[in-house]
Amino acid sequence: MATTTTLPAADYNHNDHHDHGHKETFITKYVFTQDHKMIAKQFLITGIIMAFIALFLSILFRLQLAWPEKDFPILEVFLGKWAEGGRIKPEFFLALVTIHGTIMVFFVLTAGLSGTFSNLLIPLQIGARDMAAPFMNMLSYWFFFVACVVMLASFFVESGPASAGWTIYPPLSALPTAISGSGTGMTLWLISIGIFIASQVMGGINYISTILNMRTKGMSLWRMPLTIWALLFTAILGLLSFPVLVSAVVLLFFDRSMGTSFYLSDIIVQGQILAHEGGSPILFEHLFWFLGHPEVYIVILPSFGIVSEVISINSRKPIFGYHAMVYSLLGISVLSFLVWGHHMFVTGMSPFLGGVFMITTLIIAVPSAVKVFNYIATIWRGNIRFTPAMVFSIGMVSFFISGGITGLFVGNAAIDIQVHDTYFIVAHFHLVMGSAAIFGMLAGVYHWYPKMFGRMMNNRLGYLHFWITFVGAYFVFIPMHFMGIDGVPRRYYAFTSFEFMEKWLSVNVFITWSAIIAGLAQVAFAWNFFHSMKHGKLATQNPWGANTLEWTTPIERIHGNWPGELPTVHRWPYDYSKPGHSEDFIPQTVPYSETMSSNLPHDFEGNPEAEKIQREWEAQQLVVDEESK
């Protein structure tokens, strides 16, 4: 037994052999797998399926908003009593918006996005064979899967799914008798989110401890790709904020089932005075938004990371302001814990406290603007390759700008009080964290598809998907700003019941048609995604000419990632189009000794020995040049 002296590679293979036996069965390879790449695919495919379900729900309630007086007999066929006579019931409408929000925020843009790319990219880009705790990683996926099943199961209970909005504010969520959705559906919601949090905490612990402990030789923190930085901060945010949701949800559970009064006071239901006294629903809002605000950054940070990487690669330029990018991620992460009050400007918060939250909120614009500026500066005069991943990244920056600008509006308490809970807010967050994060995720899928499946996706379908989705999303959300300024409240069922809202019906029809067309464009994506797995063009090892470590692994995607020794890192990941080098990229594994013609003084980080060698080489080159003249 030579294990004490072997290389880590051999040791790993030995473990592998030890754990799994000689042959991998279908179960160990595809179902209860501990390979991070397979777990990433599980997260991604589950996320995509959940996204399609949420998209379908949104089309259902968009139908109601556009044609509140019209019957769609087809709806009764598959919704049954929830759409008697082909018209969606008000209770079910609320359930639809609630579950749409919950699925999109938690299941698609949290687990589907950071779950996929943390699992895929962390070991591959830092040069590790797998996660720190592969078993826990597997549990993380299966907890997520169970959470999805429980959430969807609520569609099949008698009283319907939860309907208190994805923010489940009490008292609506705390009183099972309040609306039908607050019964069993709400209980299932709480159970599902409880399981989901367990999954996120297990995943997050794994991601952080892998990044900080298992980087390969030479991969110092400041040589990590920005994706890894972003995923690190995402995991830290999740680890600090999800436990807070546990407390909020458990107290809510006590109020619902045991009769405590943490959140409830002075309530009369159907003429009966309830015993609950002295609680405060505002307390729930504090606890919820202490999670809820970091949560929106958990959603957008991975997209930031993915887009940094994709834009740099496809502009063939180093990322502009690498350090500024990292510090702005850090700034956003820290500030995200100090701004939750801006969701609560209308709760009777003291104007002074409101002012404090307003200032912290507006300060977030600074790191966000740094990021946007750096993306644009990276593209500026780049040798741009408009791959599908690149166009989605540019789309992400576009959405982030147009949604971010309205963030300045709603961050101001004086304006927010006017537009609170209107379509202005809906438009704002769907652009800045919804569409932007989805586009970042899609960019990541198009970009790393060859790494996941060994094949390329179809570019034409990619462009078709991009343009229809991009235009469609703007057509959906831009008009909503105007509705919001007019004071049209969100989550209202029938626009025909209020005179001032009736004139917006025609706009709603336009929005719904845009949503349907943009939704149909996703079929192009689904086809492209699933069809290319078997029939796509075979990928080369490094199809995009990228520098990061994942493109040095074999196309076959072996368990353990690298067949021999782990790669050694010699440089940062953004040496694109470096003057003096023969190619327009230099992978991280190439030592400076092999790129003498392109080395710059600052590459050596003040190492006198290396600088001396470089100077000697340059002097020698001068002599060679002279002679050749």
Partner 1 sequence: MNTHPENNIEDPARASAFKAKRFALWLFIIASFMIFASLSSGFIVYTAGGIDKGIKIILPKAFITSTVVIIASSITVHMALLATRKGESMKRKILLALSVLLGLGFFASQFHAWQVLVEQGAFFINNNASQSFIYVFTGFHLVHIFAGIIVLLFAFFRPLNKYSLSQNVYNMELSAMFWHFLDILWIYIYVFLLLNQ
**H-type helices in 412-458, by residue range?**
413-419, 423-429, 436-453
Q: Which is nearer to partner 1, 12 or 320 (CB)?
A: 12
Query: Are the beta carbons of 424 and 406 closer than 8 angstroms?
Result: yes
User: In one letter, which amino acid is 532?
Assistant: S
Work out the number of other CB atoms within 10 angstroms of the CB of residue 604.
16
Contact of 451 with 550, CB cutoff 8 Å: yes
Residue 569 lies near partner 1 (rule: CB under 8 A): no
Of 136-165, which residues contact partner 1 (CB under 8 A)?
Answer: 136
Least separation in angstroms between CB 239 and partner 1 = 5
Question: Looking at 247-255, 306-314, 426-434, 535-543, which segment touches partner 1 (CB under 8 A)?
Answer: 247-255
Q: Residue 350 interacts with partner 1 (CB under 8 A)? A: no
Which range of residues in 2-10, 72-80, 478-486, 602-610 is near partner 1 by CB under 8 A?
A: 2-10
| Of residues 80 and 278, the one with the C-beta less far from partner 1 | 278
For residue 14, count CB atoms less than 10 angstroms from its CB and return exposed for 0-12, middle for 13-18, buried for 19 or more: middle
Q: Residue 353 interacts with partner 1 (CB under 8 A)?
A: no
Q: Can you list the pairs that 557-562 forms with residues at least 24 positions away whose Cβ atoms lie under 8 Å?
A: 557/37, 557/451, 557/452, 557/454, 559/16, 559/35, 559/130, 560/9, 560/12, 560/13, 560/16, 560/129, 560/130, 561/37, 561/123, 561/124, 561/128, 561/129, 561/130, 562/9, 562/127, 562/129
DSSP string computed for 590-627: S-GGG-GGG--GGGGTT-HHHHHHHHHHHHHHHHHHHH
Q: 539 and 455 in contact (C-beta within 8 Å)?
A: yes
Interface residue with partner 1, options 22, 80, 258, 622 (CB under 8 A): 258
Nearest-angstrom CA–CA distance, 191 and 197: 10
Among 61, 262, 493, 592, binds partner 1 (CB under 8 A): 262
Q: What share of the chain is helix, strand, coil (3-state, %, to 5)?
A: 70, 0, 30
Report the amino acid identity of residue 269. Answer: V
- Among 150, 344, 162, 172, which Cα is nearest to 255's? 172
Q: Which stretch binds partner 1 (CB under 8 A): 219-227, 271-279, 435-443, 620-628?
A: 271-279
Member of 205, 431, 488, 511 binding partner 1 (CB under 8 A): 205
Choosing from 1, 27, 268, 624, the residue that interacts with partner 1 (CB under 8 A) is 1
Of these, 97, 251, 480, 546, which contacts partner 1 (CB under 8 A)? 251
Q: Given the complex with partner 1, which of 128 and 507 has the nearer CB atom? A: 128
Residue for token digits 């687990």?
A: 111
The residues near 77 (Cβ < 8 Å, ≥ 6 apart) are none
How many CB atoms sit inside 10 A of residue 446's CB?
Answer: 26
Site string for partner 1, 379-418 (x = CB under 8 A): ----------------------------------------
User: CB 329 → partner 1: shortest distance, Å?
Assistant: 19
The only residue of 45, 49, 274, 283 in contact with partner 1, by rule CB under 8 A:
283
When binding is defined by CB under 8 A, the residue of 254, 327, 463, 604 that contacts partner 1 is 254
Write each residue from 41 to 80 as x if it is in contact with partner 1 (CB under 8 A), else as -, in one continuous string.
----------------------------------------
The residue with tokens 């749409």 is 100
- Which of 103, 214, 432, 445: binder of partner 1 (CB under 8 A)? 214
Exposure class string for 269-304: b at 16+ Cβ within 10 A, else e: eeeeebebeebebeebbbbbbbbbbbbbbbbbbbbb
Supply the minimum distance, in Å, between the C-beta of residue 367 and partner 1: 23
Q: Is 206 in the site for partner 1 (CB under 8 A)?
A: yes
Enumerate the β-bridge partners of residue 268: 273
Minimal distance, residue 66 CB to partner 1, in Å:
41
Does the footprint of partner 1 cover residue 594 (CB under 8 A)?
no
For residues 116 and 49, the answer to whether their CB atoms sit within 8 Å is no
| Among 43, 92, 141, 290, contact with partner 1 (rule: CB under 8 A) | 290
- Decide whether 280 or 577 has the Cβ nearer to partner 1: 280
Position 216 contacts partner 1 (CB under 8 A): no
- Helical (H) or strand (E) element with 269: strand 268-269
549 burial via Cβ count (<10 Å: 0-12, 13-18, 19+): buried
Cβ(289)–Cβ(344) below 8 Å? yes
Question: What does the angle CA 247 – CA 248 – CA 251 come to, to the nearest 5 degrees?
Answer: 80
Rounded least distance, CB 15 to partner 1, Å:
9
For the window 3-32, what string marks contact with partner 1 as x by the rule CB under 8 A?
A: xx---x--xx-x------------------
Per CB under 8 A, the list member of 13, 261, 418, 598 interacting with partner 1 is 261
User: Which of 223, 256, 276, 447 forms a contact with partner 1 (CB under 8 A)?
Assistant: 276
Nearer to partner 1, 279 or 567 (CB): 279
The encoded tokens of residue 429 equal: 């967050």
| The only residue of 54, 97, 132, 344 in contact with partner 1, by rule CB under 8 A | 132
Six-digit token string for 381: 């005069």
Applying CB under 8 A, does 250 fall inside the site for partner 1? yes
Q: Confirm or reject binding of residue 115 to partner 1 (CB under 8 A).
A: no
Amino acid at 33: T
C-beta closer to partner 1: residue 235 or 445: 235
Closer residue to partner 1 (CB): 230 or 287: 287
Which contiguous run of DSSP H or E holds residue 268?
strand 268-269
Spatial CA neighbour of 263 closest among 243, 246, 244, 249: 249
Query: Could you say which residues in the range 223-242 bind partner 1, by CB under 8 A?
Result: 239-242
Which residues, numbered 528-557, are part of the site for partner 1 (CB under 8 A)?
A: none
Contacting residue, 21, 73, 85, 259, with partner 1 by CB under 8 A:
259
CB of 203 to partner 1, least distance (A): 11
Q: Which residues bind partner 1 (CB under 8 A)?
A: 1, 3-4, 8, 11-12, 14, 132-133, 136, 201, 204-206, 208-210, 212-214, 239-244, 246-248, 250-251, 254, 258-262, 276-280, 282-283, 286-287, 290
